[in-house]
Structure 1
């Protein structure tokens, strides 16, 4: 995670090693090479998901707990753009 210069946000840089690339799949997994996505840190991930669903977003997989630090998920918007959400769980 890189923190933005003003300290109000962070950007995640990720490199995936698997699975192998499958070109042209409109429902490609979040870790598809070349897939465009961005991750946002949020305060109430359940509320955000409810609001995004009303705008046509689709939850990909499940909302998961990552160790004791984050609740994470991916959503696909109506235009097919992937958005990752992360809620810190201190």
Structure 2
């Protein structure tokens, strides 16, 4: 029997309170809304272990089409915990990192959507300018601008 192999990563999921706000924020960041739907039924609950559920989702894609974010707003059952303000050294999934161009200009636009710088913008050698921001609803987002190869 042939060993199973990984083909790709399809998406990262982020649960939000305001789907419209999250779509607006990630659109400003440069992602494109691919689709929006309501997922419900017994089959969905069997996958997640939540029994019966009703979730509104939006799929956002990066410009290159290789990566996606699945934004979810749970209508039922209600969310049970909130990890959005956890510091970066907490256990579990905490942030998503994007490669960007013109970091300063992008930050100016994201600040208008409520983004806040977590620490400061730093330069790693002659390779990258990096920062973490708290975006829509405090979601932790990393931004990396590659230097020299623009």
Instruction: Map 1:11-50 to 2 at 5 A.
Output: 27-50=85-108
Unaligned runs of 5+ in 2: 1-8, 10-63, 68-81
Question: 2:147 aligns to what?
Answer: 89
CA deviation string 1:47-88 (max 9, x = no partner): 111111000011000000011100000000131210000000
SS in 2 for 1:49: helix
Post-superposition offset of 1:37: 1.0
Structure 1 unaligned runs (5+)? 12-23
Alpha-carbon distance in 1 for matches of 2:140, 2:92: 12
TM-score scaled to structure 1, two decimals?
A: 0.67
CA distance in structure 2 between the aligned counterparts of 1:62 and 1:10, rounded to whole angstroms: 29
> Of the two structures, which has the highest relative contact order with CA contacts closer than 8 Å and spacing of 6 or more?
1
Higher helix share: 2
Note closer, same or farther for the CA distance 1:73–1:9 as it changes in structure 2 (3 Å cut). Answer: farther
**Structure 2 length normalisation: TM-score?**
0.42
Aligned residues: 72
